[in-house]
Amino acid sequence: MTNRVKCISPIDGSVYAERTLLSESEASAAVHAASAAQKAWAARPLDERIALVQAGVKKVGEMNDQVVEELAWQMGRPVRYGGEFGGFNERASHMAKIAPDALAPIEVEDSDSFNRYIERVPHGVVLVVAPWNYPYMTAINSVAPALISGNAVMLKHASQTLLVGERMAQAFHAVGIPKDVFQNVFLSHDTTSSLIAAKSFGFVNFTGSVGGGQAMERAAAGTFTGVGTELGGKDPGYVMDDADLDAAVETLIDGAMFNSGQCCCGIERIYVVESLFDEFVAKAVKIVSGYKLGNPLDQETTLGPMAHVRFANEVRAQTNEAIAAGAKPLIDPALFPEDDGGAYLMPQILVDVDHSMRVMRDESFGPVVGIMKVKDDAEAIQLMNDSEFGLTASLWTRDVERARQVGSEIETGTVFMNRADYLDPALCWTGCKNTGRGGGLSVIGYHNLTRPKSYHLKKA
């Protein structure tokens, strides 16, 4: 078994970065150091912790020119999109803003006889396991509130984005967050599981595959360690008869194809009412046919390679199976000669699809979307719920009450109306079914990263 982890760049298949994994003894020592440093960190005033985290976030922003190019090399996102600092800063800033209220004691009674209240106290050491697709934004979802609430944090990033945790650690340490309080660590799956099983952490937050989430829960079984998971998705869009059609097409297709379709809450299946179906499809094909697939370092590129060849091959397999079963592809391969059979994958729109096809059931996580015609809300609701996943659903209508009613019947974590593929840090980021359980960001994010402690003080 190798003790090295490599990032293979999707740009050219070269080894872009390589790091040494911590041994079990080294990893245990890192946990011990984090635990020892956490109490002093939690004892600092809340406003001091907030200020240090905000300064660390700002420092990451100062690195953005380097970060954008590094992301292109690591996971293929075109440099023209400028990286993730906007969302990274928005999420951290919101969590900093709400921290005093979110973490304030809940006072039940303060009388001559009793003082009764509930505090929010940190878990201790929090393990954050972050994915490669939006590596800065997904990490900060947990890192910022965990540190602000007084936890020490150990960040284990995906092998595809090895440099992200290092950049965050460099920034946070430079502004004065102690090195043992925020650690970027390189751990094997086995070492990670061993640490969890040994009760090394007060809380584990995992974003990734269903299989990865199951492994985390198995490792934590019997330890009473809290585990938050944000796993797979097969997010639907539904275009109703009164929708703003141009806005719906533009937003849903961007939600399906941006980042080469590698978005946690990307649109993976679209249902369109019969009266708008043909026009929606024609407009969608025109948009996608205008994309430029190519090297993400080129400013003209709008669609970069997928992060790894095996991810692209899974999308190819789903697409080819659907076509063999009767689906019709609408995007001409001749428009995308850069599709090399490897990580560079052309986008595709499929019609004549149904739920017997994996492309409409399994997570694709790539630049392919199936579009189905529906008769009414009832049929759309049935199809949207016919999934093992439940992260977001995007509804397109001018009628807010109709959106509320349809939304109330969808098994999902977030209901969007007239938008898609966005994470609002003021709202709880959560899912249901095989998308996992837990909740990030918002006040609820703070509740998950702390535990309640009750005080019942009798004065007389």
**What DSSP letter does each residue of 129-192 carry, written as one string?**
EE-SSSHHHHHHHHHHHHHHTT-EEEEEE-GGGHHHHHHHHHHHHHTT--TTTEEEE---HHHH
Residue with tokens 């269903």: 210
CA dist list (Å): 109 to 64, 103, 115, 460: 49, 18, 5, 14
d(C-alpha 157, C-alpha 165), whole Å: 6
Integer Cα distance of 270 and 119 in angstroms? 45
Name the residue among 201, 215, 264 with its Cα closest to residue 449: 201
Tokens of 47: 């406003």
Q: What is the DSSP letter of 293?
A: B
169: amino acid identity, one letter: A
Q: Which residues pair with 235 in a beta bridge?
A: 267
Are β-strands 4-8 and 15-20 bridged in parallel, bridged antiparallel, or unpaired? antiparallel
Domain-wise residue ranges, the chain? 4-231+436-458, 235-424
Alpha-carbon span 9 to 11, nearest angstrom: 5
Burial of 429 (0-12, 13-18, 19+ CB in 10 A): buried
pLDDT at 1: 53
**What is the number of other CB atoms lying within 10 angstroms of the CB of residue 121?**
15
* Partners of 433 in the β-ladder: 389
Task: Give the model's pLDDT for residue 34.
Answer: 98
Asked if residues 343 and 289 have their Cβ atoms less than 8 Å apart, the reply is: no
- The helix (H) or strand (E) run that includes residue 212 is helix 210-220
Nearest Cα to 421, choosing from 227, 194, 267?
267
- The number of angstroms, rounded, from the C-alpha of 392 to the middle of its chain's C-alpha atoms is 12
* Per-residue pLDDT at 308: 97
Strand duo 432-433 + 389-390: pairing: antiparallel
Is the domain spanning 235-424 CATH 3.40.309.10? The answer is: yes
DSSP 398: S
CB contact burial 286-302 (16+ within 10 A = b; e otherwise): ebbeebebbbbeeeebb
CA distance 24 to 22: 6
Is the full-model pTM beyond 0.95? yes
Sequence-distant (6+) residues with CB within 8 A of 17 are 6, 7, 74, 162, 163
Domains 4-231+436-458 and 235-424 share a fold: no
Alpha-helical runs (H) found in 221-362: 245-257, 274-289, 309-324
Nearest CA to 63 among 154, 168, 165? 168
Which two three-digit tokens encode residue 252?
């849903």
Q: Which CATH architecture has domain 4-231+436-458?
A: 3-Layer(aba) Sandwich (3.40)
Distance CA(297)–CA(304), nearest Å, equals 9
Mean pLDDT (10-residue bins), the chain, 460 residues:
90 98 98 98 98 98 98 98 97 98 98 97 98 98 98 98 98 98 98 98 97 97 97 97 98 98 97 98 98 98 98 98 98 96 98 98 98 98 98 98 98 98 96 96 98 96
- Measured in degrees and rounded to the nearest 5, phi and psi for residue 291 equal -70, 155
Task: List active site positions.
Answer: 230, 264
